[in-house]
Amino acid sequence: MLKIVHSIDRLNILVGKLFGWLILVMVGVILYEVFLRYVLRTPTAWAYDMGYMLYGAIFIMAGAYALSVAAHVRGDVIYRLWSPRVQAVLDLLLYLLFFFPAIVALIYAGYFFAEFSWRIGERSSSGPGGPPVYHFKTLIPLAAAFLFVQGLAEVLRCVMCIRDNNWPARLRDVQEVDVEAAKRILGGADIDNKGVTR
């Protein structure tokens, strides 16, 4: 079961990292626009739209990546005091009651939203000759599908934790500097994959 979970994690980490490279493209577009606007005094009609569409693409496609590395914000004031088994039962219930219905609704609505955008050849309405947006609207159901698959991995993770009373290991990826600093401050305390000190 852990191999399946880690395979899904690897897929979503790869997708997140691939879309992360769009940050460089977005910075390039913004720098190009700034140069044209303030140095050559000839602004473009498309750079603003392209910048926010690239940002949106990065943001929406990072959701499954963040879920795979437990990077979503969570208020765990009480949660962290519970045993791993109780945490897993609560997580499992929340995935089944809220996460999956919301993701299925997002896939369903997002598909028709993107399909309509493709059918009419939708373009940005912020100015004349705006760039096409249907490519980016396609990312809505696609991102939701990746989240759905990662949600399945999280459910399997919960099942393993309920069985073993211990959270299975997550794949390691880049960590924030403050996590490493917290480990040093706590004297090398074991901080598990959910960021909880044990």
Please give the pLDDT value at position 179: 67
DSSP 188: S
Q: For the segment 77-100, what is each residue's pLDDT rounded down to a tens digit?
A: 888 899 999 999 999 999 999 999
Please give the pLDDT value at position 74: 78
Domain ranges of the chain: 2-185
Q: Closest Cα to residue 11, out of 150, 164, 190?
A: 150
Residue 47 has pLDDT above 80, yes or no: yes
**In terms of pTM, does the model score above 0.75?**
yes
**Which SS3 state, helix, strand or coil, does residue 90 take?**
helix
Q: For the segment 182-195, what is each residue's pLDDT rounded down to a tens digit?
A: 777 776 555 554 54
CB-based burial of residue 161 (10 Å sphere; 0-12 exposed, 13-18 middle, 19+ buried)?
buried
Q: Closest Cα to residue 70, out of 150, 181, 148, 165?
A: 150
**Considering just the CA atoms, what is the radius of gyration of the chain in Å?**
21
Please give the pLDDT value at position 175: 64
Q: Interhelix angle for 47-61 vs 2-20, to 10°? A: 170
